[in-house]
Structure 1
């Protein structure tokens, strides 16, 4: 896995390489809308960056402007525990500022800046790191792609073990110790038999 100093094109290429090696759907992992939700970068800019292009958003480097835009993004895309978008008053109460201050930050004065003192509780409220508010668009996408690389590089190689899947899904423990000595085709046969018995019992119980 690389680090945040790895150029974005190199990181994206590594993701695609791992996805191809593991026969995984690249469209699922590199879905523009999903990556947008995870990074706070618009889907249009995500698409441009993955294609090696830029947008005004991707060229923005002013931290105050970026933080303001990410705050707006979070306010628009995340809901409070009650299932509705956070009200300005709820946001103000959560981060220790007035409702008017929140309104000015989101919709009003360009001079109103989300200081680090406010950024930390704001990020915590939405379950994010402070970097979510401060990363440039390329940095934000690079950070998320590096996380995907880490998950892909630590994933077990080869097809899923049918016996282990049964242990996890049905809580089967009794034969787990002996199953480690079985050959692949034997494990497939036993797994099929167990699934058949479980399905039969479920049918009889209905």
Structure 2
């Protein structure tokens, strides 16, 4: 992006700077911690564009602020029906309560959706509210703030000497790179023979799955990690 002019643009660049500081503090690289593909999956913004922002290269406004048609086509290409195929025009029409003709026109760019239909499409494709209406900077900032939250936890775990905790699902939901680094970070506590941490770990491991998930949610809440992602499953590239 050119020199930031809006608060959202300035916030995006500030978030990128924060992430770079966190990555340096973790003594790792961006690609070891950040799933750029997932940021694209969440926002529709091309991975190459996100990487250029991290490199402080200019990005044209239209590369961030995608049109309604571009966003809808992106969802149609990246989200999959239960049978793993692309959603059909019929399925989208039935799922949103609009005609097949209207869906076809929206995908072709001949028609834009109103706010109500846009919200129906967001629910159908299971994306965050505002996917069609938020600016590209707003969407990107939300994704980057999630990255910052996960990195904060990794740094905190490293500071405590934690390297591994075998909990089903992981504590950094939806980001395999972060989850992997978190597991590595949590291993050291057990290797250091920290009796208290080991006792907690063994106790949590022994819980029934439903109870274990509940305990993990409580742990995340206490540590300030609870957020939108802790309440429901978010789609990820692995769901495609």
Normalised by the size of structure 1, how large is the TM-score?
Answer: 0.68
2:9 and 2:137 in contact (8 A); partners too: no
Aligned CA-pair RMSD:
2.6
Runs of 4+ with >6 A deviation: none
1:11 and 1:145 in contact (8 A); partners too: yes
Q: Which residue of 2 aligns with 1:125?
A: 124
**In 1, Cα distance between the equivalents of 2:93 and 2:122?**
13
**In 1, Cα distance between the equivalents of 2:12 and 2:123?**
27
2:45 and 2:136 in contact (8 A); partners too: yes
Change (3 A) 1:36 1:16: same
Q: Which residue of 2 aligns with 1:20?
A: 24
**In 2, Cα distance between the equivalents of 1:58 and 1:116?**
23
Q: Does 1:58 align with 2:59?
A: no
Tell me the matched-pair count.
Answer: 164
Q: Secondary structure at the match of 2:49?
A: helix
Correspondences of 1:39-188 after superposition (within 5 Å) = 39-52=43-56, 53-55=58-60, 57-58=62-63, 60=65, 66-109=67-110, 112-154=111-153, 156-157=156-157, 158=160, 159=162, 160=186, 161-162=189-190, 163=198, 164-169=200-205, 171=207
Q: Give the unaligned 5+ runs of structure 2.
A: 1-6, 163-185, 191-197, 209-240
**In 1, Cα distance between the equivalents of 2:151 and 2:21?**
10
Give the deviation of 1:12 after TM superposition: 0.3
Q: Which has the larger radius of gyration?
A: 1
Correspondences of 1:3-14 after superposition (within 5 Å) = 6-14=10-18
Farther off after superposition, 65-74 or 114-123: 65-74
Give the deviation of 1:86 after TM superposition: 0.4
**In 2, Cα distance between the equivalents of 1:59 and 1:132?**
13
Q: Which residue of 2 aligns with 1:36?
A: 40
Change (3 A) 1:128 1:154: same
**In 2, Cα distance between the equivalents of 1:88 and 1:113?**
16
Q: Secondary structure at the match of 1:134?
A: coil
Question: Whose RCO is larger (CA < 8 A, sep 6+)?
Answer: 1
Q: Give the unaligned 5+ runs of structure 1.
A: 173-206
Give the deviation of 1:97 after TM superposition: 0.5
Give the deviation of 1:124 after TM superposition: 1.2
Farther off after superposition, 78-87 or 16-25: 16-25
